[in-house]
Structure 1
Amino acid sequence: MNFTAIKAIYVFEMTRFFRTLLQSFVSPVLSTSLYFVVFGTAIGSRINMVEGVSYAAFIVPGLIMLTVMTQSTANASFGIYFPKFIGTVYELLSAPISFLEIVIGYVGAAASKAFLVGLIILGTAHLFVDLTIAHPVAMLAFLVMTCFSFALLGFIIGIWAKNFEQLQLIPLLVITPLVFLGGSFYSVSMLPPVWQTITMFNPVVYLISGFRWAFFGTADVSIGLSLLAIALFTGICIAVIGWIFKTGYRLKS
């Protein structure tokens, strides 16, 4: 394992992240504050409790998941797409490093960025609502797994995309709607039975449910299913990336 190469890629990506502090940190904090004002105050004043907790506290895990999933995907996709765009990816592919080391460097940096933003969102939430985390270790574990798995997805998108429009296509048209429809701002049990059944086909439901369990000890699906969903999603992404580097899909042409 070439740890020097991994470190070089990781440090380069993290340095680029900290050069754009306004976009990286201030923007998520402002967005989260607006969500709390609109959902926590306006809607929360009309909803007393959801599954035994205040509505303002109930939406915190969903807000963190929304930000983390989109940030992980965006950071990883742009991180690998930009070298493709300017042509430096060929220097990377010709260097004496394996595809595993390339993936660890880029995905590790993207996951780290999203993890930091997730912690900042959590800190911002404490300014608006009294929040107690029932299982803090499990919460951090779910956060790390989500950051890592969606960074893998973003890496795939970055290789697949041929232009900046395609780079934004899946995050905007697929991931964000799935998160909003995955119980971010409501409990699945609040839906009619038919829609509850349909919602269970949304994979994001299992991620948000497991993360919410870490906060409040309650979930729409069992914690075992949530862990299985994350493991399955991560395994699929790793298999796809392995196939991409094996075949050279959109890397060698």
Structure 2
Amino acid sequence: MIGNLRAVRAIYVFEMARAGRTLLQSLVSPVLSTSLYFVVFGAAIGSRITEIDGVPYGAFIVPGLIMLLLLTQSVANASFGIYFPRFTGTIYEILSAPVSYGEIVLGYVGAAATKSIILGLVVLATSALFVPLHVEHPVWMLAFLVLTAVTFSLLGFIIGIWADGFEKLQLVPLLVITPLTFLGGTFYSIGVLPPPWQTIALFNPVVYLISGFRWSFFGTADVHIGVSLAMTLLFLGLCLVTVAWMFRTGYRLKA
């Protein structure tokens, strides 16, 4: 139940203020690194591959780069946001306060998703300086942006509760999420892969996220938009169930 909106606002504002205090790390660094990806891959590969599915290569990689940033930043923001109170012990003050589990999740995940969405929109605006962009389905683009940010912020929240050290906060993003994103069609269409590898790529959940997001830009996708949306909602549901179980059982929260 979400009834104490003042508590949600307090958590949300605190987390957003932390991003403001570390603006260089929170905003400038991710945007700069993504812009470098765009320049390097667009220049190096774009000179050899002019178009993919009728879309200029420079524009084709923009949705993938935004999704790469969105996934990594959502996980990083949410995992650190909930882990730090556990590390300092202030999490017990929150758990003992008249704040429901849903309100705690809404505050932390909402702030992490908001920061990621802002970053995604900034990178989108920055990309428009390099290549001409036209978003064919802007409503769907925003829908996938929000759904992905919320879903992976929930995943980051789960990682932040699971981790028992700062090194584990980086374990899943570095060894799982980033490789899956690079192999999920960030810089290419899975249609260019040999048939056996196309089948293997469909077991990568990030493929569906990037494909659906790219469809909102250009109207072309590796996977049907309905399948992409269904997979995104399925992953969101799994994360919600996992978070609910963690709070119900007190997993690594009440030790």
TM-score bucket (shorter structure): over 0.9
Q: Which residue of 2 aligns with 1:80?
A: 82
| Amino acid of the structure 1 residue aligned with 2:78 | A
Superposition map of 1:61-72 within 5 A: 61-72=63-74
1:57 corresponding residue in structure 2: 59
Distance in 1, Cα, partners of 2:159 & 2:250: 15
Determine if the alignment matches structure 1 residue 2 to structure 2 residue 4: yes
Corresponding residue for residue 218 of structure 1: 220
Kept in 1: contact 2:38–2:65 (CA 8 A):
no
- The equivalent of 1:32 in structure 2 is 34
Query: Which of 210, 227, 230 does residue 229 from structure 2 map onto?
Result: 227
Corresponding residue of 1:150: 152
Confirm or deny: 8 A CA contact 1:61 1:184 kept in the other structure. Answer: yes
Q: Give how far 1:129 is off.
A: 0.5
Alignment of 1:73-222 (within 5 A): 73-222=75-224
CA contact (8 A) 1:178 1:202 kept: yes
* CA-CA distance at 1:238 after TM superposition: 0.3
| Structure 2 gap segments, 5+ residues each | none
How many residues align? The count is 253
Q: Once the 2 structures are TM-superposed, how far is the Cα of residue 20 of structure 1 from its aligned partner?
A: 1.0
Shift of residue 159, structure 1, vs aligned partner: 0.2
Q: Deviations over 1:100-156 (max 9, x none)?
A: 000000000000000000001101101111111111111011000000000000000
Question: Structure 1 regions of 5+ residues with no counterpart?
Answer: none
Q: TM-score, normalised by structure 1?
A: 0.99
Task: Tell me if the contact between 1:32 and 1:124 (Cα under 8 Å) persists in the aligned partners.
Answer: no
What is the distance in 2 between the residues matched to 1:195 and 1:93? 47
Tell whether the 8 Å contact from 2:75 to 2:153 is kept in structure 1 after alignment: yes
SS at match of 1:122: helix
Which residue in 2 is equivalent to 1:239?
241
